[in-house]
Amino acid sequence: MPAARAAVARAEGWLFADGDPRRLAAVRIGLGALLAARLASGPYPELATQPAALFRPISFLGLLDRMPSPEAVAILQAFALGAAVLATFGLLTRVTLPLAWLAALPLVAMTSSLGKVVHNDVLLLLCLVPLLPSNAGAAWSLDARLRPVAGRGPAFGWPVRTAMVVVAGAYFFSGLAKLLHAGPAWVASGNLRWVLYASSDAQPEPNPYALFVADRPLLAQLVAAATLAVELGFPLVLWRPRLAWLFVPAVVAMHAGIGLAMHLDYSAMAATVLVVMVDWPALADRFGGPGPAAAGPGDRPGPVSAEERR
């Protein structure tokens, strides 16, 4: 029990340690821009015209008897997109970011209302959750120009670290699910080869990338083992941040490979990993960007304000 309490205390100390407002701002800008891009390019108008007979919701949209009307979808999409753009620029962030998230939620749920789970945007939405109550507009924002907030503090640390835990957990449990459902056979058998063959057969033309791996049993098993190692090992980044230089490119490469071999677009997940797991202010400082003392009125060192603590 003492060891367990000590572990919990260390975890709490890490989660609620002081954070850089610029790091939180970078996550806000990156995820807000990604959300705006997904909202602008989403298939929601087409989904709104689907016949009621094809409506198979697996979420709260089960309260409806068909897809939302095209008119309602157009209004919701425009509202969500506008709020996401304002949140990205950091205008009235405490209001616009939650509104963008709430308006995007039913739109994203539409993609999983045709009898199949579509989780392309789930990681993005989950990583935005800890930002909703936070002061994500304290730096690199229009809000910071109007109402500067000085100093570092836990209020700027826990939202980013919570998003990091969400990312790490998403990949860890994805790998764990493979082991629970298939065990070592997920790597040791020809499982991945047959998945790639089936994917290639389902495409209009044979996929050379899928067939290149599938035709080489040892290579297919190595790819499967690497995938499992990356997914199960991703939480190590929380313990040793420098491992992000290994795991983040590996995840991006994994999703790029899936896109090439299976034509499945997980670019939103890869982009979310980059936004959340990379310390963008540190990179900016290293390559000549503004340091903490010169990054803007919301970034000056000093005492933590009462508003920041909330």
Residue-wise pLDDT for 163-175, tens only, equals 999 999 999 999 9
Print the domain residue range for 60: 1-157+300-310
Beta bridge partners of 114: 56
* Helical axes 2-15 vs 154-182, angle rounded to 10°: 120
> Closest Cα partner for 237 from 226, 250, 223, 253?
250
Residue 235 has pLDDT above 90, yes or no: yes
CB neighbours of residue 156 within 10 Å: 25
Residue-wise pLDDT for 179-203, tens only, equals 999 999 999 999 999 999 999 999 9
Residue-wise pLDDT for 111-127, tens only, equals 999 888 888 999 999 99
- Residue 168 falls within a domain, yes or no? no
- Residue 124 falls within a domain, yes or no? yes
Question: Do 149 and 99 form a contact (C-beta atoms < 8 A)?
Answer: no
* Helical axes 217-233 vs 191-202, angle rounded to 10°: 100
Query: Which DSSP symbol is given to 256?
Result: H
Indicate the pTM of the whole model: 0.89
Residue 77's contacts (CB-CB under 8 Å, 6 or more residues apart) are 39, 42, 44, 45, 107
pLDDT band at 5 (very low <50, low <70, confident <90, very high): confident
pLDDT of residue 299: 39
Rounded Cα–Cα distance for residues 166 and 186 (Å): 24
Residue 15 has pLDDT above 90, yes or no: yes
Q: Work out how many domains the chain is built from and give that number.
A: 1
- Residue 148 falls within a domain, yes or no? yes
- Residue 165 falls within a domain, yes or no? no
Task: Kindly state the tokens that stand for 293.
Answer: 């003392």
- Residue 253 falls within a domain, yes or no? no
Residue 227 identity = T
- Residue 294 falls within a domain, yes or no? no
pLDDT of residue 289: 52
- Residue 179 falls within a domain, yes or no? no
- Residue 13 falls within a domain, yes or no? yes
